[in-house]
């Protein structure tokens, strides 16, 4: 099995996250830990895996996330910058 690569995620506000393989794995794991309570966590985790599994060069694959997925990533990544409702 080939070594996993990093992932690039475009959040709904246009921000681009560039994750190396270790960062992508840590975010994937945290999204799954949050899956029962955070909407969008499972699909965001799936998009990370899809980017990592791509046969294209890592910098060529950018997974675009929905608003829910973006929020899940921000929560899991520990930098939720959105103001409270």
Each domain of the chain, given as residue ranges in start order, spans: 7-77
At 28, list the tokens: 């994937």
What is the tens place of the pLDDT at every residue in 56-72? 665 557 899 999 999 99
What is the tens place of the pLDDT at every residue in 10-61? 999 999 999 998 999 999 999 999 999 999 999 999 999 988 887 666 555 7
Alpha carbon distance 52, 21 (integer Å) = 8
| Coil/strand/helix, residue 64 | strand
The pLDDT score that the predictor gives to residue 53 is 83
* pTM for the model: 0.82
């Amino acid at each position: 099995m080939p070594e996993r690569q990093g992932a690039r995620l475009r959040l709904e506000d246009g921000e681009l996250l560039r994750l190396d393989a270790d960062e992508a794995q840590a975010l994937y794991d945290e999204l799954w830990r949050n899956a029962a309570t955070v909407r969008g966590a499972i699909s965001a985790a799936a998009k990370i895996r899809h980017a990592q599994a791509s046969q294209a060069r890592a910098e060529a694959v950018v997974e675009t996330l929905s608003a829910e997925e973006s929020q899940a990533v921000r929560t899991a990544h520990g930098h939720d910058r959105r103001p409270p409702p």
